[in-house]
Amino acid sequence: MKSTQYLAREPDESGFIHYPESEHQVWNTLITRQLEVIENRACQEYLDGIEQLGLPMERIPQLGEINRVLEASTGWRVARVPALIPFQTFFELLASKQFPVATFIRTPEELDYLKEPDIFHEIFGHCPMLTNPWFAEFTHTYGKLGLQATKEQRVYLARLYWLTIEFGLLDTPEGRRIYGGGILSSPKETLYALSDVPEHQPFDALEAMRTPYRIDILQPVYFVLPELKRLFELAQEDIMALVHQAMALGLHAPKFPPKAA
Ligand SMILES: [Fe+2]
């Protein structure tokens, strides 16, 4: 576990989490800006989720509000966690249909980029897609596989997660759209991902597992699903066999410069 400057907020005796007004302001700034940017860029399934969630604009939502919507749509919940959690906890949560949410929000100084996923990233980025049964099934399967995987296998699974749940694109009758929460919670990456700067490759789970990534840069390559149902189909396939194949074949050369020391 890496260190973090952030501390997740604890609920009071009635389960309510109090945030100072300045933090509600950060939420308001982020959601106002991002709802505009995702127009004609987010996929319809995500927008349907946004509509179902009915997120407040003027304050950070309480996790119970999110749970009511997720439970009714796909049986998922969000789970309150500290700022950073071990991989083991992460997989345990996903395997029991719980999506981890750290109850802190970025400072105004880190409005555009922060390393630790905050409540805006988790709720605005990921929760809309978790109302979709295909996406939810894939995420659940991913959690169950990760729980049984070895440390080395988990690294390959993590790349698949990164290039789907975090940074996935999707072809739709209306054009190319975004479903990845890492993109949809970032104004800069939402514009960049659909521009002609990065490379777009047709989705291939084996290739995704072999594609190295860095968390601190815009992605040089995105994988494009032919339709969201492909994730559901993948969940029925032997993903661990693909992990073994990817491990035998090894990683592709990175399409990004090495991290400066
Ligand atoms: Fe995320």
Q: What is the pLDDT of residues 24-76, one digit of tens each?
A: 999 999 999 999 999 999 999 999 999 999 999 999 999 999 999 999 999 99
* CA separation for the pair 53, 128 (Å, rounded): 7
Hey, what are 60's tokens? Answer: 């950070």
Q: Over 80: is that where the pLDDT of 4 sits? A: no
Instruction: List CB-based neighbours of ion ligand 1 within 5 Å.
Output: 117
Domain ranges of the chain: 19-247
Q: Over 60: is that where the pLDDT of 195 sits? A: yes
CATH topology of domain 19-247: Phenylalanine Hydroxylase (1.10.800)
pLDDT value of residue 2: 53
The DSSP output letter for 98 is: E
Alpha helices in 56-124 (DSSP H): 63-73, 87-95, 119-120
Q: How much distance in Å is there from the Cα of 258 to the middle of ligand 1? A: 23
- Binding-site residue numbers are 121, 126, 166
* CA separation for the pair 255, 252 (Å, rounded): 9
The 10 Å Cβ neighbour count of residue 14 is 5
Q: How much distance in Å is there from the Cα of 175 to the middle of ligand 1? A: 24
The DSSP output letter for 18 is: P
Specify whether the CB–CB gap between 225 and 177 falls below 8 A: no
Which one, of 204, 209, 212, 215, lies nearest residue 244 by Cα? 209
Q: How much distance in Å is there from the Cα of 158 to the middle of ligand 1? A: 11
Q: How much distance in Å is there from the Cα of 119 to the middle of ligand 1? A: 10
- Binding-site residue numbers for Fe cation are 121, 126, 166
pLDDT value of residue 1: 47
What is the percent of the chain where pLDDT is above 70?
98
Q: Over 70: is that where the pLDDT of 131 sits? A: yes
Q: What is the mean pLDDT of residues 2-21?
A: 89
User: ∠ CA 125-127-1 to the nearest 5 degrees?
Assistant: 70
pLDDT value of residue 146: 98
Q: How much distance in Å is there from the Cα of 75 to the middle of ligand 1? A: 19
Q: How much distance in Å is there from the Cα of 254 to the middle of ligand 1? A: 21
Q: How much distance in Å is there from the Cα of 161 to the middle of ligand 1? A: 9
Q: Over 60: is that where the pLDDT of 196 sits? A: yes
| Rg, Å, the chain Cα set | 18
pLDDT value of residue 3: 57
pLDDT value of residue 112: 87
Q: How much distance in Å is there from the Cα of 14 to the middle of ligand 1? A: 28
* CA separation for the pair 141, 237 (Å, rounded): 10
Write down the residue that tokens 């999707």 correspond to. 170
What pTM was estimated for this model as a whole?
A: 0.95
Specify whether the CB–CB gap between 164 and 230 falls below 8 A: no
Give the number of C-alpha atoms closer than 13 A to the C-alpha of residue 153, restricted to the C-beta side.
Answer: 17
Task: Tell me the CA distances in angstroms from 90 to 99, 208, 240, one per residue in order.
Answer: 8, 20, 18
Please report, as a single letter, which amino acid is at residue 163.
L
pLDDT value of residue 48: 98
The DSSP output letter for 127 is: T
